[in-house]
Structure 1
Amino acid sequence: MRSHLNTLLFAASLAFANTASAQEPATTPTKTMELAKSGTLVIDVREPEELAQLAYDVPNLVNIPLADVAKRANEIPKDKPVIVVCRSGGRSAEAVAELQKLGYSNLTTLEGGLYAWQEAGMPVKKNGTPPAGCCAGGKANANCTPEQKAAGCCSGAPKAAAPAPADKKTEKKN
């Protein structure tokens, strides 16, 4: 009886493991680059400071930190594939789980994160400006800050005019 119970528990754990991995398929660095080049949205869930130091150099990359994923989910299209990335794979898995709770299903992660990306010799940006963190779905919405709208980050938002240069003649000196 005991061995029968152990067999059932083992089978149940295998079934659960297969279900969990089916919900969150992972992709390789090469496949991630191919998909990004073909238009797939890539969301990096690391903090902006991390991206400023070292970032994936791929098209269609948007930064939505893990802590903001749920409140900015409306920026992420439900009808298109999305790859969620981070440094090692942990935060991207958390983000995928959060998005799945919100009804997203066309999600994948990068196996091994930025570590695997670099090990595969894929391009990175060092000490650069992080990608825009606004409007992953390509539409203006309430989550865009005034600064992002002024910078033209959100489509449909006009670019702010550059401030007029100060007139040296009327400028007062202190």
Structure 2
Amino acid sequence: MSDVVQKDLAEAREVCPTTSQRLLKEGALLVDVREPDEVAQVGFAGCEVVNIPLSQFEDRWQEVPRDRDVILACAAGVRSLKATYFLMYQGYTRVMNMKPGIDRWVQRGFPITGSAEAVGGSAAASSCCGGTAEAKPPPAAAACVCGDGDVTTASACCGGAAQSKSSCC
């Protein structure tokens, strides 16, 4: 018999950089899970940021407050999604993942430290959540939060038919 306990977790809430910017202005905390060398090249600015690299997250997760909204971010949203689920497993309810991450943050012209040239990715800033007009939406069961702050299904966001540029990430 296995000692592993399985918890059923809700879907992680994901927010784009535009929505993240609004939430940060309202008092959310940004936790950057990128490694220190990545943060030294280009970092988030204009908001309260704590760097807890994913490689240290298991030892330092208690530094993340439970009493406020927390946005986890990395370069593209993959590592931060892992950290988001880790915190959800620990009982956190006010956590969300920024997807795509600092790559899109820079494309949107939000404040940074360091050089924007250090950012990877090739998505055009004028396109929504994926770089081209043919961007694929997330799976139908997924929900995303677009620039207007509404939680919507994939068909209304990030490349779906009902998407409008004004509510785009």
TM-score, length of structure 1 as denominator length: 0.57
User: 24, 31, 44: which is aligned to 1:36?
Assistant: 24
Q: Does 1:46 align with 2:34?
A: yes
1:108 aligned counterpart, secondary structure: strand
Preserved contact between residue 71 and residue 95 of structure 2 (Cα < 8 Å): yes
Tell me if structure 2 keeps the 8 A contact 1:44–1:84. Answer: yes
Deviating 4+ runs (over 2 angstroms):
none
* Count of aligned pairs between the two proteins: 108
* Correspondences of 1:1-174 after superposition (within 5 Å): 23-126=11-114
In structure 2, runs of 5+ residues without a counterpart are 1-7, 116-169
CA RMSD across the alignment: 1.8
User: Aligned to 2:88, what secondary structure does the other structure show?
Assistant: helix
Q: Percent identity?
A: 35
- Could you say what secondary structure the match of 2:102 adopts? helix
Higher mean Cα deviation, 78-87 or 116-125?
A: 116-125
* TM-score, with structure 2 as normaliser: 0.59
Structure 1, unpaired ranges of 5+: 1-18, 128-174
1:87 CA drift (Å)? 0.3
Question: Structure 1: which amino acid aligns with 2:56?
Answer: D
Aligned-pair CA distance for 1:51: 0.6
For the Cα contact (< 8 Å) 1:43–1:63, is it kept in 2? yes
